[in-house]
């Protein structure tokens, strides 16, 4: 078994041609996943990638592990069944913003509340890629797409707020272009026991190019994005000159000229109330200061996993009743003989 | 007092939902079964959880047919009707045999009950002479129970709830029955409440004693044990048998059972029953909806478990897309459909056989799969076991059809022992020197099943058309045609692995064949018996395997001048027969949410002549 | 038309027998709905009740308005289509915890984000009533039911947290037993323009009796429940002796002996951050003080409604292009004559 | 130079997805249409959004058949193949007629392209002699374009993108075509970018001029306008026609159109097209999934709109449960299924006709509904219009079947004027003195449609079985049977409201009838023409109405010795024919994700002899 645990990124490649558009953000994600997984020392045969349908959902075909490219939106339900049946497997779910938040929305929220130990990689490109460019539930309001030639009128989901509302135990955000951070977040997802919901901003250069540019462009990224770390104060700005402070329950942007780092909001991954505020940095609601988009692990909580509880209940019942005997079951309590 | 010996008796307990008639019926059923009668039951309860007391909508009934002879159906008409209120009598008197016995509880006939049942005061059936063709026995069971329990320390309401035990005791007396089985039941049920325990036993005994002393009764009856084959028996309901069959298939295949389901009438009890079997390693998953239910089972199956999902019509419709995925993946999966009256929500508590065509064809694209149907409550065990076997050994989703009638009905079941059940051989693929192909097939066109955790067999499968052998995505036109044909041929080949169809009754010289499927078995069987006794040359055959049909089906059908297909739908199997064999089969249907009666079918055949 | 606007509660009854179990909490809700709706002066023929399947979903049959008892979980989608097609109608959706949060979860969250002006009455009895007693997505952990004889292992949803995560513009909670409050909340739901999500705790006396007893029982209700009102401080306790204060972003229970009412948390319906804290009073998370369950309008936000935006877009396009002429459309831009 | 007059020509433009072959094909198509040719097109693009450049998977093709004669199909084999790289040539040369003309861009045959197309260096088709049976013309279009645009100020990459205009110009020259239509297109498309505008026009003209000057070509061709019926024409694709048909039905019924849909290949373009028609009051709703899509349409329908939902196979499966609700509610609803190759995800960009049986039977319970299918791109207009009419006038959901082939294919369409289209009369119920019953029916068994907002008609409907007339919930057995029969009879009665089936070709003295449905119309038609020319007594009939079938269908079928049913599935319509008429119809199938060719069908019939 040992040898199946020492493999390289290369060993995780399959013989299938990768069929994404040249320069698609999906390539970068695939690469980082293949790079970081060997470090976990999971026997390769114990790894399973489950996906739905979408460009992103082609992912399993490119991973030389077990995998299933299933149907649109249902990856979460399939992965849950698999994980409950085989708790020892390392189960990964790859999905898109349409796959998980549109058609798969119900399974998605139920996955999060149940909390099986599944690592969700949600490729959010804010568009339907595979069906050639309709708006998705994360597309911004007024977006002009094939199905909304006059602009969409649908208020978009805030995926991490939705996840938190569904009592997720782990929510994090990263970006295709941030190789290192992406690796770290994949690792954190793996380490977290319970459903890890990792939102990955992914550029669809064909139908929604540059959607996240200001979050990655050199001249804006440090002002528009903030990378949080547990125990560290919230600092950002092109020159690291800004910080975020909590005024009661209200976040405010302060200049580090005026405010000492000691008075800044210190990130606490385990604080649900703070996480609920952090996820809303997204919204730029009227009346809220303009806040940077948050990257990193926004929230993490220990909660027993679904498959643990299922397994434990089985063990308890067997402990109490003994292992079932088929003949007893067939016979039942009231039988007679002719 | 005179005791008359009867071959078989149909008794119906009917009352308000609150009167405990299901319990009463079940107790009498168990008692008869333990006594050795052959039996068939038909519980019939209102759609509402608690319909307004006293109303017609609130009537709950339990019909039992028990006998010393072979019993095929719960009976068309009743010998005895126990009616706890006027609504129950009003709804059920039409199903009574001429001169039948009616036992009523007069406390359910007061003006309030009359109003609730929408019966005008001057039309009180107890007094208006309308029941003069029956033997009408009127008691005040309510008063009698109160008298019996006046010192019990129970509240009036609790005492009312014991009334059914009084009635049961009385009926036990009427049929010379032993009280032991019910006393043990009460003892277990009320183990934690001595007051109720004692009260119920006292009432039961009081009912029996009342029989001994009352002067209104002039006759008692006896129904001898039936001449069943030697062996051990228990009383079995369809859903219960289905759950047992699944556990048995899990044990005999050595795979753990995963049951993903979303509650729905009348399938929920399978989920309930299985959720009690955790000591068999059974994992039940109450999913957020039917789509998640079937998908979770597919996931479990991919992981090497026996993945099963169960539902009723609306749920089957929702599962269509995912079942099509399972067809494409070629993974084992058992889909249980306990049919109910449709379309749409239909009549959830009523039975029907109208999901056959959706089972056959309700998937987009060419997505054939085996379809099996159970013919009786206990046959659910064998048929679902067989469905599991086929799914596992042929790597295919299988649809197993049951329906509300057999799901809740019961009959004596000569249960097998673990040792007598066939082993279901399942072999997962193992690492070999040769390259591994997930879609490599054996002589039955069955592909390799390699499960995660097996080093060296890592592979990917999916719902896009796949290349033969490798399973890689392929858009090649010839490959697609090949795969479509292979998937069809694989299902067709199952006919080599199932028994031929044989006549249940009659022989090939008869004129007419009654060809049935599913739960109409018993009614057809009893009708054929009667028709043959009446001199008609009628035979019976029954299909458990609907897709593929047994190899000799056409050959058998062609032996007869006429083939009649009775179905509780608007004509579905008949379409398959006509299409496949170009035989001008005649459809005989009943779409009332009710099972066929023997009379229904007998009349139909006689009308043909 | 005037006369169809002056009708009474009695006029809203139908000739159908009400088929709930005697003493079911549904009766009380029906009664309050029938009592309060006539006050709104909506023409009766403009009122439509849409439901899914469940005991609660029988509701439309008892309302002498237009109504549809549809299929399980799909009321939200049907109501959305109706409202978009006919914005002038007053559309009400009646649903259960299973209907909307289990099978209907996806439509539910999408309804909330889109925000059509639909009033949702969610009868939460924390059980599946109609199918005779299985646990629901709001049933408490470890609940023993027909489908969980050894206790459920599913972490339940917090319905209002989920709603807020889905960017609901109106969330409120009330109870079957609180007639007056129920009426007020129905009225507030009606007045709110946008999707009003009103969670109604409803007793299922057959399969989950007394689930909310401590929230309504005389001797516990004032300590366990808090009724919030916009602009009012958060006070509760059997003797109104307790208050809630915000310590930064953390709620804490204080004695009014120690703390002046002026220092208490003053309810602000329009404060999303506060609402996010309020919905979590529910969870009694470890590390949080034991907090009372919140009743009233927890959050309300102005956002244009979906059907408004749809209608306006149509008007704008017609304004710009003129009303469509079928002959022009049939002819297209490139045609030729033979 | 010599100019040869041709009756009809099949040309295929094939290249990498990035080469703009769809655009080129579309331009040539429009040009031919405007010129007056009859045409049929078959675009064939890769499943991937942007498959890796140069690979076989990345090849995108557009086939056009244009002629001065009647054109039924895009053609089995090509007269001309334009191949922009080696992959395109490799995949398509087999579809070339003997002596066919191959025009290649040699820049797509360098070593890199050879490797990507998996062609060994020594097997370069341009040099290895394998194309000796064809007329091979090799040009360096890339270089020629660069030369033409070297002063244009465009980047090299942009210049590469104009290459297809050079090719188009060249082919225009080859067929003596006018450039005007394409110049207007370019002018509109690049209105905002003068640089590109000028470059594209320059390249187009350069391509034409190159034809004039090159010495490699020895012949030019001309295809005269077709003798189409007098009138106004435009080029029309199937999805486009479907969208138009819906808008037309909305205008002609006076109801506003509500289209609820979830994107899916190949149906999405209907959503895209309709979302542009807001000035017709069309409301498009991109739902969260297919279930919400159909349910939103049901909601809109309940409100009095023309509720329509559109999808492909996987989505149709998901909509099953809700369609069953619409059957039970008896509300108008049009469900569009643009079929693609299944099962499961199948081959989304490939065509198939394999959803007929799910359309017929894919609902739980007895839930019959009308099914219509379009036979060609422009027929989508008439057929979906008719589907709307039936839905509205018969208060029923209707399934309209199209498929990927006609959805994306195109043909000239003699479009109607608003005045010539029939009015769809719809009358909502109004308050009368008599009590209002939502399920009161007219002579066609069609119920009242009363919409919210109508004072005095307040009522409730639902998916539980309803009492006839009142629509109240009813569990009465006889009522259920009655309602099941009524719903079936209502659909059956539609046969009174549709035209009889007539022969498309041939007469009743012929031996063989080819009975088709849906998009195989053109191929069957062309095959029948050829077969008849070859002396075979073959006729053609085609079913637009599949449920119910025209009243005289059986009668017509019985006139022939043999009935052959060609279908792009594994045999579905043939099942209905066999079952309904007990006619031993022969199934001829092709399940390759491709349309039938004329040759396919001709061979099949000849093999029978
Ligand atoms: C049941 C069903 N409905 C619709 C589709 C069509 N479809 C495929 S992928 C997709 C959405 C893709 O968007 P997303 O999930 O964001 O993935 P992306 O392509 O952007 O990575 C849709 C609508 C389908 N395959 N199945
Ligand atoms: C598709 C489908 N699945 C399942 C059911 C069965 N079913 C009916 S109501 C219900 C749940 C009821 O619970 P809830 O929504 O909480 O309503 P309540 O009865 O408690 O008011 C279920 C599972 C159904 N009718 N349709
Ligand atoms: S369409 Fe967009 S998301 Fe899909 S592969 Fe291309 S670039 Fe990537
Ligand atoms: S089962 Fe419960 S929710 Fe349903 S009607 Fe009865 S008491 Fe009410
Ligand atoms: Mg996307
Ligand atoms: Mg409930």
What element of type H or E holds B504? Answer: strand B503-505
Cα-based angle D329, D333, D339 (whole degrees, multiple of 5) = 125
Closest C-alpha among B29, B25, B30, B95 to residue B60: B25
Both tokens of D439, joined, read 């399920």
Q: Tell me the C-alpha distance between B135 and B143, whole Å.
A: 22
Alpha-carbon distance B315 to nearest alpha carbon in chain C (angstroms): 10
Instruction: Return the minimum-mean-pLDDT range out of B228-237, B365-374, C311-320.
Output: B228-237
- B:275-294 residues touching chain C, CB 8 A cutoff: 275-276, 278, 284, 286, 288-290
Q: Which of D316, D366, D479, D579 is the mutation pick for testing B, counting most B CBs within 10 A? A: D366
Dist. CA D402 → ligand 1 center (Å): 21
Q: Tell me the C-alpha distance between B52 and C212, whole Å.
A: 24
Q: Taking 70 as the threshold, does the pLDDT of residue C285 lie above it? A: no
Q: Which atom of ligand 3 is nearest to the CA of A205?
A: 7
Q: Which of A107, A140, A164, A165 is the mutation pick for testing C, counting most C CBs within 10 A? A: A165
Q: Taking 80 as the threshold, does the pLDDT of residue D48 lie above it? A: no
Q: Percentage of chain D surpassing pLDDT 70?
A: 100
- Average of pLDDT values for B197-215? 94
Dist. CA D393 → ligand 6 center (Å): 39
Q: What residues are in contact with ligand 2 under a 6 Å CB criterion?
A: B 262-264, 290, 314-315, 318, 345; C 53-56, 72, 96-99, 123, 125, 127-131, 136
Q: Is D9 on the interface with C (CB under 8 A)?
A: no
Q: Taking 60 as the threshold, does the pLDDT of residue B300 lie above it? A: yes
pLDDT of residue B47: 75
Dist. CA D405 → ligand 5 center (Å): 27
User: Which of C102, C152, C206 lies nearest to residue B50, judging by beta carbons?
Assistant: C206
Dist. CA C167 → ligand 3 center (Å): 28
Residue C275 within a domain? no
CATH classification of the domain holding C39: 3.40.50.970
Residues facing residue D139 across a β-bridge: D105
- Average of pLDDT values for D499-528? 96
Categorize the per-residue pLDDT at C2 as very low, low, confident or very high, splitting at 50, 70 and 90: very low
Residue C189 within a domain? yes
Closest C-alpha among A207, A22, A183, A14 to residue A96: A207
Q: Taking 70 as the threshold, does the pLDDT of residue C287 lie above it? A: no
Q: Tell me the C-alpha distance between B214 and A68, whole Å.
A: 72
Q: Which domain holds residue A73?
A: 10-211
Dist. CA A204 → ligand 3 center (Å): 5
Comparing A21 with B251, the larger pLDDT belongs to: B251
What DSSP designation does D439 have? B
Residues facing residue A50 across a β-bridge: A68, A93
Q: Tell me the C-alpha distance between B172 and B179, whole Å.
A: 7
Categorize the per-residue pLDDT at B231 as very low, low, confident or very high, splitting at 50, 70 and 90: very high
Residue A220 within a domain? no
> What domains can be seen in chain D, in order of their start residue?
2-223 (3.40.920.10), 234-415 (3.40.50.970), 427-497 (no CATH), 503-608 (3.40.50.920)
Q: Which atom of ligand 1 is nearest to the CA of D317?
A: 1
pLDDT of residue C286: 62
Q: Taking 60 as the threshold, does the pLDDT of residue A92 lie above it? A: yes
What element of type H or E holds D160? Answer: helix D156-161
What SS3 string covers B62-128? EEEEEECCCCCCCCCCEEEEEECCHHHHHHHHHHEEEEEEEEEEHHHHCHHHHHHCCCCHHHCCCCC
| Residue partners of A200: CB distance under 8 A and separation at least 6 | A29, A121, A122, A123, A124, A173, A174, A175, A176, A182, A185
Number of structural domains chain C divides into: 1
In the block, tokens 């649809």 appear at: B399
According to DSSP H, which parts of B93-140 are helical? 111-116
Categorize the per-residue pLDDT at A283 as very low, low, confident or very high, splitting at 50, 70 and 90: low
pLDDT of residue A3: 66
Residue C102 within a domain? yes
pLDDT of residue A1: 43
pLDDT of residue B49: 75
Both tokens of D397, joined, read 């959901």
Q: Tell me the C-alpha distance between C326 and C320, whole Å.
A: 17
Dist. CA B17 → ligand 4 center (Å): 14
Q: Is A84 on the interface with D (CB under 8 A)?
A: no
Q: Tell me the C-alpha distance between D486 and D478, whole Å.
A: 12
Categorize the per-residue pLDDT at B550 as very low, low, confident or very high, splitting at 50, 70 and 90: very high
Q: Taking 60 as the threshold, does the pLDDT of residue B608 lie above it? A: yes
Both tokens of D302, joined, read 């309940």
Residue A130 within a domain? yes
In the block, tokens 């800044």 appear at: A264
Read off the pLDDT of residues B364-393 as tens digits, 9 standing for 90 and up: 999 999 999 999 999 999 999 999 999 999
pLDDT of residue A2: 47
Residue A279 Cβ inside 6 Å of ligand 3? The answer reads: no
Q: Determine if the peptide bond prior to A183 is cis (ω within 30°).
A: no
**Residue whose CA lies nearest to ligand 4 atom number 2:** C204
Dist. CA C125 → ligand 4 center (Å): 9
Closest C-alpha among B317, B453, B407, B319 to residue B307: B319
Alpha-carbon distance D37 to nearest alpha carbon in chain C (angstroms): 10
pLDDT of residue A256: 95
Q: Taking 60 as the threshold, does the pLDDT of residue C282 lie above it? A: yes
pLDDT of residue A285: 64
- Are D50 and A22 inside 8 Å of each other by CB? yes
What SS3 string covers D301-365? HHCCCEEEEEECHHHHHHHHHHHHHHHHHCCCEEEEEEECECCCCEECCCCCCCCHHHHHHCCCC
pLDDT of residue C284: 58
Residues of C in contact with A285 (CB under 8 A): 272
Residue A320 within a domain? no
In the block, tokens 């839905």 appear at: D391
**Residue whose CA lies nearest to ligand 2 atom number 26:** C72
- Are D244 and C329 inside 8 Å of each other by CB? yes
Is D468:D439 a contact under the CB 8 Å cutoff?
A: yes
Residue C302 has phi, psi (to 5 degrees) of: -90, 125
Q: Tell me the C-alpha distance between C29 and C51, whole Å.
A: 15
**To test ligand 1's pocket by mutation, which of A58, A95, A131, A146 has the most ligand atoms within 8 angstroms of CB?**
A131
Question: Greatest CA separation found in chain B?
Answer: 89
ipTM over 0.95: yes
Both tokens of D482, joined, read 């009655």
Cα-based angle C33, C37, C42 (whole degrees, multiple of 5) = 150
Residue C74 within a domain? yes
Cα-based angle B3, B6, B10 (whole degrees, multiple of 5) = 115
Measured on CA atoms in the order D138, D143, D149, D154, is the torsion positive or negative? positive
Closest C-alpha among D93, D71, D97 to residue D223: D71
- Are B464 and D328 inside 8 Å of each other by CB? no
Q: Cα D588 to chain center, whole Å?
A: 21
- Average of pLDDT values for D180-197? 93
pLDDT of residue B316: 98
Residue C288 within a domain? no
Residue C208 Cβ inside 6 Å of ligand 4? The answer reads: no
Read off the pLDDT of residues D337-373 as tens digits, 9 standing for 90 and up: 999 999 999 999 999 999 999 999 999 999 999 999 9
User: Which of B279, B303, B416 lies nearest to residue A85, judging by beta carbons?
Assistant: B303
**Residue whose CA lies nearest to ligand 1 atom number 7:** D264
- Average of pLDDT values for C291-316? 97
- Average of pLDDT values for C87-104? 98
Q: Percentage of chain B surpassing pLDDT 70?
A: 100
Residue A28 Cβ inside 6 Å of ligand 3? The answer reads: no
Read off the pLDDT of residues B421-480 as tens digits, 9 standing for 90 and up: 999 999 999 998 889 999 999 999 999 999 999 999 999 999 999 999 999 999 999 999
Q: Percentage of chain C surpassing pLDDT 70?
A: 97
pLDDT of residue A12: 97
Residue C206 Cβ inside 6 Å of ligand 4? The answer reads: yes
- Average of pLDDT values for D390-406? 98
Both tokens of B158, joined, read 């609790």
Q: How many CB atoms sit inside 10 A of residue B467's CB? A: 17
What element of type H or E holds B5? Answer: strand B2-6
Q: Taking 50 as the threshold, does the pLDDT of residue C1 lie above it? A: no
- Average of pLDDT values for B507-518? 96
Q: What mean pLDDT, rounded, does chain B reach? A: 95
Q: Which of C129, C131, C148, C203 is the mutation pick for testing B, counting most B CBs within 10 A? A: C131
Residues of D in contact with B357 (CB under 8 A): 360-361
Tell the burial category of D194 from Cβ atoms under 10 Å away from its Cβ (0-12, 13-18, 19+). Answer: exposed
Residues of D in contact with B320 (CB under 8 A): 317-318, 320, 358, 362
Both tokens of C231, joined, read 């602009």
Tell the burial category of B433 from Cβ atoms under 10 Å away from its Cβ (0-12, 13-18, 19+). Answer: exposed
Tell the burial category of B53 from Cβ atoms under 10 Å away from its Cβ (0-12, 13-18, 19+). Answer: middle
Q: Taking 70 as the threshold, does the pLDDT of residue B68 lie above it? A: yes
Residue B190 has phi, psi (to 5 degrees) of: -105, 30
Both tokens of A238, joined, read 């092109």
Closest C-alpha among D381, D373, D377, D380 to residue D416: D381
pLDDT of residue B52: 80
Tell the burial category of B444 from Cβ atoms under 10 Å away from its Cβ (0-12, 13-18, 19+). Answer: middle
Q: Which atom of ligand 3 is nearest to the CA of A26?
A: 8
């Amino acid at each position: 078994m040992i040898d199946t645990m020492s493999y390289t990124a290369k060993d995780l490649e399959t013989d299938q041609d990768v069929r994404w558009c040249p320069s698609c953000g999906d390539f970068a994600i695939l690469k980082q996943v293949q790079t970081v997984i060997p470090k976990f020392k999971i026997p390769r045969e114990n790894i399973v990638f489950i996906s739905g349908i979408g460009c992103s959902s082609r992912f399993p075909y490119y991973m030389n592990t077990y995998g299933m490219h299933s149907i649109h939106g249902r990856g979460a339900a399939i992965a849950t069944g698999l994980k409950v049946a085989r708790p020892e497997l390392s189960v990964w779910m790859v999905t898109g913003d349409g796959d998980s938040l549109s058609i798969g929305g119900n399974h998605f929220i139920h996955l999060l509340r149940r909390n099986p130990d599944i690592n969700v990689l949600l490729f959010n490109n804010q568009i339907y890629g595979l069906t050639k460019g309709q708006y998705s539930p994360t597309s911004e309001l007024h977006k002009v797409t094939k199905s909304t030639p006059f602009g969409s009128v649908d208020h978009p989901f805030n995926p991490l707020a939705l996840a938190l509302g569904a009592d997720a135990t782990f929510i994090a955000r990263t970006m295709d272009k941030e190789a290192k951070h992406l690796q770290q977040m994949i690792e954190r997802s793996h380490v977290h026991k319970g459903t890890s919901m990792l939102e990955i901003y992914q550029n669809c250069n064909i139908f929604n190019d540059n959607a996240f540019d200001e979050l990655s462009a050199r001249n804006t990224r440090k002002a528009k994005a903030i990378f949080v770390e547990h125990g560290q104060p919230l600092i950002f700005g092109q020159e690291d000159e800004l910080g975020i402070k909590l005024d009661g329950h209200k976040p405010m942007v302060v200049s580090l000229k005026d405010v000492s780092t000691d008075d800044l909001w210190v990130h606490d991954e385990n604080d649900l109330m703070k996480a609920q505020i952090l996820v809303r940095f997204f919204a730029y609601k009227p009346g809220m200061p303009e806040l940077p988009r948050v990257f990193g692990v926004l929230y993490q909580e220990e909660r027993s996993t679904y498959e643990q509880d299922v397994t434990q209940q089985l063990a308890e019942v067997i402990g109490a009743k003994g292992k079932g005997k088929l003949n007893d079951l067939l016979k039942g309590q009231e039988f007679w003989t002719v | 007092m005179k005791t008359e010996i009867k071959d078989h008796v149909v008794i119906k307990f009917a009352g308000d939902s609150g009167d405990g008639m299901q319990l009463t019926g079940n107790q009498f059923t168990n008692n008869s079964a333990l006594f050795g009668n052959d039996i068939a039951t038909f519980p019939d309860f209102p759609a509402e959880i608690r319909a307004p007391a006293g109303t017609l909508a609130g009537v709950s009934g339990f019909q039992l047919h028990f006998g010393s002879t072979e019993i095929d159906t719960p009976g068309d008409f009743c010998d005895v009707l126990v009616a706890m209120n006027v609504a129950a009598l009003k709804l059920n008197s039409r199903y009574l045999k001429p001169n039948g016995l009616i036992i009523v509880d007069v406390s359910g006939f007061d003006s309030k009950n009359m109003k609730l049942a929408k019966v005008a005061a001057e039309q009180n059936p107890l007094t208006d002479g309308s029941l003069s063709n029956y033997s009408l026995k009127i008691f005040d069971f309510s008063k009698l129970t109160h008298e019996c329990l006046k010192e019990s320390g129970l509240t009036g309401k609790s005492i009312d709830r014991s009334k059914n035990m009084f009635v049961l005791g009385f009926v036990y007396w009427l049929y010379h029955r032993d009280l032991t089985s019910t006393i043990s039941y009460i003892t277990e049920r009320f183990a934690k409440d001595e007051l109720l325990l004692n009260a119920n036993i006292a009432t039961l005994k009081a009912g029996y004693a009342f029989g001994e002393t009352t002067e209104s009764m002039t006759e008692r009856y006896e129904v001898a044990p039936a001449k069943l084959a030697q062996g051990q028996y228990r009383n079995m309901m369809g859903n219960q048998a289905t759950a047992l069959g699944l556990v048995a298939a899990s044990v005999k295949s050595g795979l753990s059972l995963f049951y993903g389901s979303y509650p729905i009438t009348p399938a929920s009890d399978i989920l309930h029953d299985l959720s009690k079997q955790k000591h068999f390693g059974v994992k039940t998953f109450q999913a957020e909806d039917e789509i998640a239910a079937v998908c979770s089972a597919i996931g479990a199956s991919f992981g090497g478990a026996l993945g099963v999902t169960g539902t009723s019509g609306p749920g089957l419709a929702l599962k269509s897309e995912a079942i099509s995925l399972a067809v494409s993946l070629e993974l084992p999966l058992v889909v249980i459909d306990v049919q109910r009256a449709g379309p749409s929500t239909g009549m959830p508590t009523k039975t029907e056989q109208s999901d056959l065509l959706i089972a056959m064809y309700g998937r987009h694209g060419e997505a054939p799969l085996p379809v099996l149907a159970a013919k009786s409550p206990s046959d659910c065990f064998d048929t679902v076991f067989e469905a599991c076997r086929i799914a596992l050994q042929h790597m295919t989703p299988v649809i197993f059809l049951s329906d509300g009638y057999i799901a809740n009905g019961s009959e004596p079941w000569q249960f097998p022992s673990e040792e007598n059940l066939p082993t279901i051989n399942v072999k997962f693929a193992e690492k070999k020197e040769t390259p591994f192909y997930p879609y490599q097939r054996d002589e039955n066109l069955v592909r390799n099943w390699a499960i995660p955790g097996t080093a060296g067999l890592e592979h990917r499968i999916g719902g896009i058309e796949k290349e033969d052998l490798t399973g890689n995505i392929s858009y090649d036109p010839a490959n697609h045609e090949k795969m479509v044909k292979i998937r069809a041929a694989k299902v067709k080949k199952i006919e080599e692995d199932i028994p031929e169809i044989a006549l249940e009754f009659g022989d090939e010289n008869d004129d007419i064949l009654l060809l049935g499927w599913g739960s109409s078995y018993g009614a057809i069987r009893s009708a054929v018996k009667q028709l043959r006794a009446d001199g008609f040359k009628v035979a019976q055959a029954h299909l458990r395997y609907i897709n593929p049909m047994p190899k000799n089906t056409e050959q058998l059908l062609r032996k007869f001048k006429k083939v009649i297909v009775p179905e509780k739908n608007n004509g579905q199997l008949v379409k398959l027969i006509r299409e496949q064999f170009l035989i001008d089969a005649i459809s005989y249907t009943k779409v009332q949410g009710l099972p066929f009666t023997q009379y229904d079918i007998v009349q139909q055949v006689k009308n043909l002549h």
